[in-house]
A and B are shown apart, each in its own frame.
Chain A
């Protein structure tokens, strides 16, 4: 789940990290009142869940409350990247001595949070890491054990920070690391983390993303921030008809899990993929063989036949899909016979011949023998775990390319 900047800053503030005396306004009059309270130059920032605010004119500087009101009015009417702002954030213009970066991100490979720190803030951390690797400190920490401050200190020191700055920054990164864990975040970023003229530090911008599955545990926080359940996860894009259809099928039946994404996919080979991280690997393998996936999908946890059928139908109904590849990873415990029934049923209900339509069925899973019998009965080409995921993807691509030739 994504947060607006004003919410992210509030989360940071609640964690004990210093922030400016910012305010959130949904009208120009409110923005003016906040600027009057600030009593000096202010920054007016559009609150949208998209990047490119500065370039689009969504961040403006005001020297007086009058100016703040005018800018707020303009920004509130400004669409950025297809998003209308939720409001504006009015922030005192800080006298910044130096900008730093502090962030924590979930490292899916190491299955641990990863702290990142740089003394070059205000720009993308990816760019700093690429161009000035010596200015980025990194460090994983446990998701279970208590977090000791010295781990944060090591990461900051690795970015070349010393002396009193190191001592003052340590509790900030440590609090961010704890916040990340306690609030079920997948990303918690302060950029820039500014050092002011008096040597103190303050978060000038924050970016937070929460694990969707963590939302029920964080209901109290979400309610305090005024975020209603109707807002969902605030995904970055409107779900496509395919994505919405798959989501609805999944929600209607508690058995098993299916997922489908097709934003950015325009291929002719539909994918129904299951288990153990196989979805990404197999989608990549299809691409690696020169194939064009029509979608990304996941199926697992022993869905009903109806659910497997629903996913396969949604894939087959997509524009441009000629064939479907059903591929299970080696660690699948999902029943092969149930998925086979679902996919074959989808073909038949759409008046398609399963033998022609299913390019390959890689069957590792539970009840393989029963699955084989069903696939045999309908003449579907299948393989077991002796054929690697890479080879199975290759066979599917060869078949669809052969059909096109």
Chain B
């Protein structure tokens, strides 16, 4: 089930980056990212738990991970 309040978008260019996936899984305090052998999985049931900490923005190349606040249409992203 997608989030009511939060969505996380990951650009296709890093979707199969296993190292990045592991990093994202490690940093997210609410387990939204899951590293798989094929790359990255977003655990949709966890999306609304996002605490907007921005830790997932740091390890990814600018603009490749966006945390979208569905309630106001803005997003957190590294530029």
Contact = CB atoms under 8 A, between A and B. Distances in A.
Nearest to A374: B71
Nearest to A309: B48
Given A341-B4, A345-B4, A374-B5, A304 B72 contact: no
Contact of A377 (B49, B52, B71): B71
A305 B72 contact: no
Contact of B72 (A306, A335, A341, A377): A377
Contacts of A374: 5, 71
B70 to A, nearest CB: 8
Contact of B48 (A345, A377, A378): A345
Contacts of A305: 5, 48-49
B49 A373 contact: no
A211 to B, nearest CB: 31
Interface string B50-79: 011000000000000000010110000000
Contacts of A304: 30, 49
Given A374-B71, A377-B72, A306 B4 contact: no
Interface residues of B, number: 10
A337 B5 CA distance: 10
Interface in A311-351: 335, 337-338, 341, 344-345, 348
A370 interface: yes
B75 to A, nearest CB: 13
Contact of B52 (A344, A370, A378): A370
Tell me whether chain A's interface is mostly helix, strand or loop, or mixed. helix
A132 to B, nearest CB: 58
A234 B4 CA distance: 41
A335 B30 CA distance: 15
A391 to B, nearest CB: 27
Given A373-B71, A377-B71, A377-B72, A348 B51 contact: no
Contacts of A338: 51
A306 B49 contact: yes
Interface string B1-16: 0001100000000000
- Find the residue from A305, A345, A370, A374 having the highest chain B CB count within 10 A: A305
A341 B30 CA distance: 15
B52 A341 contact: no
Nearest to A373: B72
Interface of A: 304-306, 335, 337-338, 341, 344-345, 348, 370, 373-374, 377-378
Interface of B: 4-5, 30, 48-49, 51-52, 69, 71-72
The 5 residue pairs across chains A and B that have the minimum distance between CB atoms = A377-B71, A373-B72, A374-B71, A305-B48, A341-B5
5 contacts: A305-B48, A305-B49, A335-B51, A370-B52, A373-B72
